[in-house]
Amino acid sequence: MPEASVLCVGILVADLVVPPLARLPAAGELIATEDFLVQPGGCAANTAIALRTLGLAAAVVGRVGDDLFGDLVERDLRARGIDTSGVARTAGHGTSKTVILPVVDEDRRFIHTFGANAALTAADIPPVSLEAADVTYVGGYLVLPALHQSDLAARFRFAREQGTRIVLDVVVPSGLGDLSVDAVSELLPLADYFLPNEDEARALTGEAEPLRQAERLLEAGARTVVIKRGERGVLVHSGDEVFELAAPRVDVLEPSGAGDAFAAGLILGMLEGWELERSARFASVMGGSACTALGCYAGVFSRDEADRFIMEHPAWARDVPRS
C-alpha cells in the first residue's frame, strides 16, 4: 500500500443530497429544487476526504458494488489522492446509497440501503495496511453486520502491537433493536478514542445525561470518550480529564458529515501530539465547517482555515473542566 498516515475503515456510500427544502412534498406533489449532489459518502470516505483537506495521507478500506455507483465512489476518492487499494468490489450487492433530505429548520431525513457494506468483514482489513498506518479509524460500526466484534478486536490488537493508534465511531440506526454497552465492550479497551454522538451513547448505555454516558463507557473499558452533541458542543472524558466545549458558531446550511470531519480534526491532533483540549477544539471547528455547505465535505476547512477560525474567535472561550 502507498504511504498512508491514516487508514479509514467502514461505510462507503454513494450519497444523493437534496438541497434544503422549505417543506416536504405532499403525496403526489412535485417540488422543484436546485441540482442534487451525487458524490461519495459514508464515514470512511468522508473522514478520508477531510483528512486529505487537512493535508494528511489517507487510505480507505471498504466495499462497494460492481456497478456505476461503485465506479463513482472509487474514481472520486482516487482523484482526491486517497489510496483505494483496500476498496473491494462485491458481486451480488449494489453500492450502498443514501438519499439525504434536509428541510429548513428541521433535522435531516435519511433513506439508506446497506448494499455492499453488509459484506464488509474484519478479514477485509489487510494487516499490511494496519502496519503502515499511524492511526486506524473505523466508522459506522454497528451498521456493518458482517464486521463481528471479536474479529475486529483481533485486528485492533494486531494494530496496537504495530504501534498504530485507533479511533472508533459508531452508527446506530432506528429499528436496530435493544443495544447495550456489550456491543462495543471488546473494542473499547483497544481504542484510543471512542466518538459516539449523544443519541448513540444513550442507546449503548441507557443513560440520558452525557457525563453519565461517558462514565459508563469508561467503566466498560474506554480510554477516552468524546460525546458529540451537535449544536450543544462536545463532552470529553479521559478519566483524568473531563471538560465540555461549546459548539463553534458557524452559518449552518446542512450538517451531514460533521461527525466525520470532527474525527479527522481529532486525528490530526493525535498525529501532532497535541493536548486533549486543543485536539477537541480543533476537531469541533472541523465538524462545524462541514455544516456550512451542502453535502458532507464541501465546506470542510483546510488546516490554515481552521487555525484562522480559532484565532479570529477569541470569545469562543474554553469551558471550565469538570472533575
28 falls within a domain = no
| Number of other residues whose CB lies within 10 A of the CB of residue 191 | 26
Degrees, nearest 5: CA angle 62-65-70: 80
Residue 68 belongs to domain with CATH number:
3.40.1190.20
Per the structure, the complete domain to which residue 244 belongs is given by 6-23+35-312
154 falls within a domain = yes
For residue 321, pLDDT beyond 60: no
pLDDT given for residue 253 in this prediction? 82
Q: How confident is the model at residue 27 (pLDDT cuts 50, 70, 90)?
A: very high
CA distance linking residue 174 with residue 117, whole number of Å: 17
User: Between residues 284 and 106, which one has the greater pLDDT?
Assistant: 284
Residue with cell 491532533: 269
pLDDT in tens, 103-143: 888 888 888 899 999 999 999 999 999 999 999 999 999 99
Degrees, nearest 5: CA angle 147-149-154: 100
30 falls within a domain = no
126 falls within a domain = yes
User: Mean pLDDT over all residues of the chain?
Assistant: 92
Q: Is the pTM of this model over 0.75?
A: yes
Domain count of the fold of the chain: 1
CA distance linking residue 2 with residue 155, whole number of Å: 20
132 falls within a domain = yes
Integer angstrom CA distances of residue 20 from 14, 180, 191, 193, 252:
19, 35, 36, 33, 11
CA distance linking residue 186 with residue 156, whole number of Å: 10
259 falls within a domain = yes
pLDDT in tens, 206-263: 999 999 999 999 999 999 999 999 989 999 999 999 999 999 999 888 888 899 999 9
